Structure 1
Amino acid sequence: MQKNAIVILILAILLAFSATGFSQASYDTLSIYDLQYVPDPVANDLSPYLGDTVVVKGMVMNNPRDLWIGARWSAYIIDQDSFPNPWSGFFVVQNDTFQPGTLFGFVEPGTICYFTGVVSEFSNFSQITLLDNNPLIPVEILSVGNPLPDPVLLTADDIDDRADAEQWESMWVKVEDATILNNAVSGNWASFTDASGGTAFMGEYFNWFRDRLNAGTYTWPPNGTSINVQGFTRDETAGYSINPRDTLDVVLLSDPPPVIANVSRNPGAPGSSDVVTVSANIEDNISVASARINYSVDWNAFQEVAMSAGIGGFTGDIPAQGDGAFVRYYISATDNVGGTSVFPGDTSMTSGGVYFYVVRDGNHSIRDIQYTWGYANDASGFNGYEVTVEGVVMTDSTDYVGDYWIQEARAPWSGIWVNDADHVFLKGDWVSVTGVVEENFNVTRINGTAASLVQAGFGEYEPIDQTTGNITTGADSAEAYESVLVKVSNVTVTNPFPDPSGNFGEFVIDDGSGELRVDDLFSAFRGNLDSAFVSGDKYSFITAFHYYSFGNYKLAPRDSLDIGPLTGIEDNITAPLSYSLSQNYPNPFNPSTTIRYTLAQSGKFKLEVFNVLGQRVATLANQFQTAGAHQVTWDGRNDAGNSVGSGIYFYQLSGNNTTLTQKMILLK
């Protein structure tokens, strides 16, 4: 009875909204297939209707509050008329959850609706963002209580790369008879395989998993466990994932083998006289029968060393090895019924990795820290351990305050990022740095605890000449140049705004060998790099450190001297045909948000923030501005420099007889 009352209430509200004059009829009605299908996902997987306002029909597959998407609501939808065919799943987002008039907050799984919004992309994940303000168009509910279809049966190979997986984006899918490879993939993911031989991932996009994984009250099934998993596919920077709703979507098919965790070694950076003690926590639901260290020296066959149980876990020793020896190892454990697990779960070179170290009598080299030995997992073998390395400082203290980059040679694998706010060196100084190696969002760096000058004025290394295609995302040699100074020549700007969902200070260049991103990492460019680089512009060279973030390799120039002279300008550059004031991003926000706008003509313009009483809170811009695209960041402070309170604010662009206004929400 209560559910029926809610449905009646929703329908009554819908009728009231239909009288306001806002209707889906103002926009084209398209199918999910229309919005999703692309002929070549590898070349371009963005929706062909990106940026358009459209109407689409779909069946809601989850409660909009069940997904982790910050201060927003979202739901997967399917085309109930074409599912389970490819290209029949999509994703709906509402940014302003303080706006109940969309009725999106009332929909439940099994509700079929028309949704009106703007097609957008978030890290290549296609979605529609509902019109929740200027104009507000509520969802049109056609029917409720429809049964959810069975998921489409796929294999791990179907979703392990973009060429195969893009057609299943946002689909309700299932993989059977899979085996957990690694239950501790970065980002709270788990990897698995099946008889197809592919490697796919489970993700924690649903709050049930995210909350418990972050709190440490749940872990994915142990490596080696056989499972059936069903959920919704998502395209993220790290790959495609199946996202189950709760544990009912992850069915265990076998008794879980032992759980191996918290593997460590002592010493972390061994010399030739050091026996290396490896420790691990190993647990089983009944008992652990045996545990082993499997190790290999200089690519010889793996040998086994038994581990013994003691207070705090299991330990075993790898014998001392000669200076320069390369040692690989992983842990295996067997329980009382013969179930066996290994850690890391995927020890293959093509898709996984192992623990490893190089024996040195003296300091380790940067190459020792950076080199991945051909394994797909590019984390340093010294991750989490203290090392001492030497190299020449390649940045000034003002390039990135508190950090610097050093190189030991003009060669691949020779550079590393140092996080060290306590020591200031000059570019060209040869220094010694001691600190703990860490993976900072998949970039290897050293958290410096001690540093000293070895030789002043040693001199910088010249950049290594490269092509854009050789060091771009997906290139075999890209990882080798992480934190190494490189130079690309005769490049053309091919995309000044490569991220449709927002401006993240990047642009794309190409020298004819393949596209490569350029980032605003360093202080000279931070926040406004792509406002100065126009599509079609040609530059004689760009010198930069090779860097990785948000799923892409990219260049990070240090200052304006790293950008060569402009050798060509696109001839057909014209000013925008109209003025525009975009919705701020993110919204709601805390503590800051970015506002983008375009000007059809040059002139004096103001960008101001007002509260709901119409009182001016802050002036973000008040000067002569050229025609074109602009952006401003507001940090939630008024003109006096004081933080303002939570609430609704309006930002207004005015000038040249034009006034545009948008609403934003500050949440604290």
Structure 2
Amino acid sequence: MCWKLRAAGFRSLTPCLPSNAGPERFDRHRVFIKTSFNIRNPLMLPKSFLALCLATGVSIVPAAAEIVINEIMYNSPGEDVEFVELYNASDQSIDLTGWYILDDNDAHLPCLISGTLEPGEYLVIAQDIVLFRQNYPGVTSLNPQDYGTGSQGWGLGNSADAVRLYRPDGTLHDAVYYQDRGEWPVAADGDGPSLELLNPALDNALAASWAASTVDGGTPGARNSVFVGDLPPVCRDGSRQIPLPAHDDRVPVTVFAFDYEGPVSVELFVNAEGGYSPQPMSDDGTQGDAAAGDSVFTAIIPPHPDGTLVKYYASATDQTGQTRTWPARAPLEYAAYTVGHVPPGLRITEVLPINDTIIQDPFGDYEDWIEIQNQDDRTVNLGGMYLGNAFDQTTRFMLPPLDLAPGQFLLVWADNQPEQGPLHANFKLSGSGETVALFETTDRGNVLIHGWRYGVTGRNISIGFPHPESTAPEFLALPTPGRSNAESPLFSPVCINEFQTTSNFGGPKDDWIEIYNRGAEPFDLSGCFLSDKRGNNTKWRFPDGTVLQPEAFLTVYEDVLGFGLPSERGGVIMLTAADSITGLDFYDFGPQQPDRTEGRYPDGASTWRFLDSPTPSASNIASVVHENGSSGIPADFRLEQNFPNPFNPETVVRYQLPRRERVRIGVYTLLGTRLRILADEIQEAGCREVVWDGTDDAGKAVSSGIYFYRLETEAFGQTRKMILIR
């Protein structure tokens, strides 16, 4: 078999050389491969060389054929002529028979590909072949099947979508998730240009690898108009280690930067209300930089007085003078924070993902909506704040400059029709469960103000916090847009009341879920479902004849459920009605500790607490509630070094929280690409740990190499490095 060296950030490398060629030359700092080579067994390589590969982020992978998504026309002006272009960047002829493409919707019919693609050749897959040929008569490298015609045809979204390329066995080969905002080229959305990859060797998952074509209509079946041989540097994934700096904080700022051909110099431009001035960013392991030679550059912004608006951006320059910035359109776009700022007490109090008959928008349509309430004691202007449906999309939809008085509500229509007005968001909500999140303005740090996830829900059933003191949302029987949720009865009389994920003794009774009937009538649970997966809410079915009397408890143990609950990274529990589509209850939980449970306190209430004494099939009032101020609460935030390190197959990450916080812990590649979210929820104060098993969010095992893991809260951020050895 032929094997290749692969470096982080590269899609394809040089062709394989004769078997006696050696890995004589490569640049450690840029992990830029000069040669690749044939070997029969990579384990026969010297251990010193394998260690060097590991230390520099280089992995050894089979030299698979490289078919690249190279150009996308998702919104042409006038009559929409969509297409996707593939390019063979390998040195082999590739038979594409049985391959297929899809957008981001798994329910759509795959578009099958056929034929053989020679090295350096292109294949165009059109939405409508007839329409494409009318507009591009000279293009002959056209797939015989299109994806937009017929009763099951589909098209690419204009604001955001995905192009996914699969092999015949269903393995995902390549994927591009594009947007018409942020760092993605906006001119490709209806202005005439297509979305073109700068060079097939680049990682096409990164926005910085793409540009709007210089030719209206793009260049299907031909070399991209924006192709560059001498590639510009990469400058991306900037991060501020202190989300909300105080007046005495020295603020580390990091950015990932490198150049494909050689060294790169990186500067941080800072404007503390006196104009931008540059300062060098270092990658030498000193002056706040975590590690030398990892392409993560660091600079420290000095302390500033309370109220100071600090704007900044990073700029990377290569040896030929080419420059790239983070954010991509700096200094027009920038990152920022206001020293000493405290976010207002705004809350997302209710959402309605499936609005059939509850309330119409100003255009007479029944649309999804999100309710925001000002629970602060001062009027808050919403101008420049952002609303989104993912925790990692902090600038999805900008709110208009409206004043919200104390106690006042505001409805935002999540209808993906922003052209209808400033309170119509550019996204919709999903009835199968999703995230809702509210973020601060850019100038005030763009931190999370409030956000949460919900489970699968039925029509005209909203999800919200019944009372201001509620710690978790509930399904509400009568949606109350613009009014207090206390007016609505709870939708479900039965609820998840307590659960345990681990004990010091283990065994088949280790994990359990307790259901409680808080209603006044018996409830028939026959055919209802319990699950620990949002995408599969029917994992375990209650037997026929299961009836729960009022104020009665029912505990289902792990050996009956057929699944356990995660302890280290948290998870979700979902209770679904017998129709399999109507949610009765859900709860998103964080990391758990042995022989301590989490439950509603008192029983059936919308306030959750940690319980020192598990009470399966009994009232939670009998347990001692864990108080945040008790002994054992850490004095400050801390992220520990993972152990073991290096590791195989899994490693433990420990951290501590001095108070209740929303916590996000992620694993990232050397390029800053997110691989796995280990925790993303509100957690109580305490010492906690999560386990990473060396897989990504899709459950796929990642290769040996150096990875970053990062802890982020609203008031703290820290990154550490770990090494996986397969």
TM over 0.5: no
Structure with the bigger percentage of helix: 1
Higher relative contact order (CA 8 A, sep 6+): 2
Q: TM-score range by the shorter chain?
A: 0.3 to 0.5
The structure with the largest strand share of the pair is 1
Q: Provide TM-score, normalisation by structure 1.
A: 0.34
TM-score if structure 2 supplies the norm length? 0.32
